[in-house]
Amino acid sequence: MKNIKKSWIIIAVILLLAIIMYTSIKGTYNNMVTMDEGVSSQWAQVENVYQRRADLIPNLVATVKGYAEHERETFEAVTLARSKATSVTIDPTNLNEASMQQFQAAQDQLSSALSRLLVVVEKYPDLKANQNFLDLQTQLERTENRITVERMNFNTKSQEYNSFIRSFPKNIYASLFGFEKKAYFKAQEGAEKAPEVKF
């Protein structure tokens, strides 16, 4: 009789430990999935604001072209940079350092080309007074601000996710289930120096 009672106690303890283990793994796994989806969702928002910028560029170029037809090289550079920037896409499930650097490099080229386009504008006072151009310039400025905010939000989501999957014992579950660290946006080289802007 005592052996049967001991057996039931052992079985109950084993079942209780199994339930606790299952609940722990299930909860941690579900949190990792939720956080991973949060990072992917925020990445989609980053891509959304970059796409908005890319969509504004043809209108901006067309407006400037009307005033500065002989600046063909600048227009071609902007168009080429826009094409490259929109062709670089990243699968949100594979946000690693290499893919993030490739994406940032394409976006930095576009930013550089846009800067050259805005320098061209300085040569044409009538263009700077054109309401259509001013509206486009304002929209572009607002979009650049949105890009900054969304990149910052993305880095925050990635940091929360990375901290979660790297803490013990979640790091064990993360490696078992294939959850990997996400890359961050980093400031481009020389970003610590403020650009000189003249209007």
Give the CATH number, domain containing residue 143. 1.20.1440.20
Q: What is the mean pLDDT of residues 65-78?
A: 72
Q: Are 30 and 173 in contact (CB under 8 A)?
A: no
98: pLDDT strictly greater than 80: yes
Q: What is the mean pLDDT of residues 94-106?
A: 83
Q: What is the pLDDT of residues 137-191, one digit of tens each?
A: 888 888 888 988 999 999 999 999 999 999 998 899 899 899 999 888 876 665 4
Q: Is residue 89 part of a domain?
A: yes
Q: Is residue 192 part of a domain?
A: no
Of 125, 127, 131, 181, the residue nearest 158 (C-alpha): 181
Q: How many domains are contained in the chain?
A: 1
Predicted confidence band at 99 (pLDDT cuts at 50, 70, 90)? confident
Q: Is residue 24 part of a domain?
A: yes
Per mean pLDDT, which range of 58-72, 94-108, 130-144, 184-198 is the poorest? 184-198
90: pLDDT strictly greater than 90: no
Range of the domain at 131: 2-177
pLDDT the model gives residue 194: 42
Q: Is residue 187 part of a domain?
A: no
Residues 175, 53: Cα–Cα separation, whole Å: 37
Predicted confidence band at 38 (pLDDT cuts at 50, 70, 90)? very high
Q: What is the mean pLDDT of residues 75-102?
A: 81
Q: Is residue 198 part of a domain?
A: no
Residue 87 to residues 14, 80, 82, 83, Cα–Cα distance (Å): 55, 11, 8, 6
Is the sign of the CA dihedral 76, 117, 115, 141 positive or negative?
Answer: negative
Q: Is residue 33 part of a domain?
A: yes
pLDDT the model gives residue 197: 39
Predicted confidence band at 68 (pLDDT cuts at 50, 70, 90)? low
pLDDT the model gives residue 190: 52
70: pLDDT strictly greater than 70: no
Burial 1-32 (b: 16+ CB within 10 A, else e): eeeeeeeeeeeeeeeeeeeeeeeeeeebbeeb
pLDDT the model gives residue 191: 47
Q: Are 62 and 10 in contact (CB under 8 A)?
A: no
Q: Is residue 182 part of a domain?
A: no
Q: What is the pLDDT of residues 118-140, one digit of tens each?
A: 777 777 777 767 777 788 888 88
